């Protein structure tokens, strides 16, 4: 909810166009607004912007296929100790991070600390630090060296796919709301 409002505000689109306010953005409404886009974009929009739990599993499945296809197409050099399971974990981490972005732990995403001004850890952005190689190594079950030398770049690649989704969704909503 907050995200769709923030997105729409950022895009200077009036909220009335998508149902009139908080609580009224349903998965059906999101799906209807995004009709014509690829399945994964519609599912992503439903999960992210209307909290649609039912769409999570089909979305995760489609995105895993996309990640595996990218790995094959780009010839990812997976080490002997890694496997399809590592790629699967990466796909899930990226989806999770995109749907529920972590927030700065110090200010809890607010960007400010109790009237003390901008948070010094995130410089007032509220964003968390990048997925460090230690954390990524533990969630992917790979060595820290591999996480830093290989998987961090793949994670950035995955996250950029979702950034593209959000841009496409925003563009589509803007267009729908104008008509
Ligand atoms: Zn902070």
Contact between 69 and 83 under an 8 Å Cβ cutoff? The reply is no
Query: What confidence tier does 15 reach under pLDDT thresholds 50, 70, 90?
Result: very low
pTM for this prediction: 0.78
Average per-residue pLDDT in the chain?
A: 84
Write down the pLDDT at residue 102.
Answer: 82
Write down the pLDDT at residue 4.
Answer: 44
Ligand 1 centroid to 120 CA: how many Å?
6
Ligand 1 centroid to 166 CA: how many Å?
24
How confident is the model over 80-132, as pLDDT tens digits? 999 999 999 999 999 999 988 888 888 988 899 987 899 998 889 888 877 88
How confident is the model over 158-169, as pLDDT tens digits? 999 999 999 999
How far is residue 18 from each of residues 25, 30, 59, 99, measured CA to CA in Å?
7, 8, 23, 20
Ligand 1 centroid to 101 CA: how many Å?
14
Ligand 1 centroid to 102 CA: how many Å?
11
Q: How far apart are CA 105 and CA 126, in angstroms?
A: 9
Neighbours of 135 (CB within 10 A): 15
Ligand 1 centroid to 16 CA: how many Å?
32
Ligand 1 centroid to 178 CA: how many Å?
36
- Is residue 5 scored above 70 in pLDDT? no
Residue 126: helix, strand or coil by DSSP? Answer: coil
Sign of CA dihedral 29, 35, 39, 41: negative
Ligand 1 centroid to 114 CA: how many Å?
11
Contact between 98 and 48 under an 8 Å Cβ cutoff? The reply is yes
How confident is the model over 144-163, as pLDDT tens digits? 999 999 999 999 999 999 99
Write down the pLDDT at residue 116.
Answer: 84
The closest of 87, 80, 97, 110 to 160, measured between CA atoms, is 97
Contact between 87 and 78 under an 8 Å Cβ cutoff? The reply is yes
Write down the pLDDT at residue 179.
Answer: 64
29 is in which domain, residue-wise? 2-178
Q: How far apart are CA 63 and CA 59, in angstroms?
A: 6
- Is residue 138 scored above 90 in pLDDT? yes
- Is residue 13 scored above 80 in pLDDT? no
Total domains in the fold of the chain: 1
Kindly state the percentage of the chain with pLDDT values over 90. 55
Q: Which residue has the tokens 């999101």?
A: 30
Ligand 1 centroid to 70 CA: how many Å?
34
Ligand 1 centroid to 123 CA: how many Å?
7
Write down the pLDDT at residue 23.
Answer: 52
């Amino acid at each position: 909810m907050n995200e769709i409002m923030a997105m729409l505000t950022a895009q200077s689109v009036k909220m009335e166009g998508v149902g009139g306010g908080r609580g009224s953005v349903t998965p059906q409404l999101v799906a209807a607004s995004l009709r014509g886009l690829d399945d994964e974009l519609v599912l992503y929009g439903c999960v992210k912007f209307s909290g649609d739990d039912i769409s999570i599993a089909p979305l995760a499945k489609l995105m895993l296929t996309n990640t595996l296809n990218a790995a094959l197409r780009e010839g990812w050099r997976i080490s002997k100790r890694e496997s399809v399971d590592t790629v699967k974990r990466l796909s899930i981490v990226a989806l999770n991070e995109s749907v529920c972005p972590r927030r700065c732990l110090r200010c809890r995403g607010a960007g400010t600390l109790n009237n003390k001004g901008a948070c010094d850890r995130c410089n007032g952005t509220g964003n968390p630090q990048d997925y460090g190689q230690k954390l990524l190594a533990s969630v992917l079950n790979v060595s820290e060296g591999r996480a830093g030398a290989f998987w961090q770049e793949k994670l950035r690649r995955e996250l950029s796919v979702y950034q593209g989704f959000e841009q496409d969704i925003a563009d589509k909503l803007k267009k729908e709301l104008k008509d």
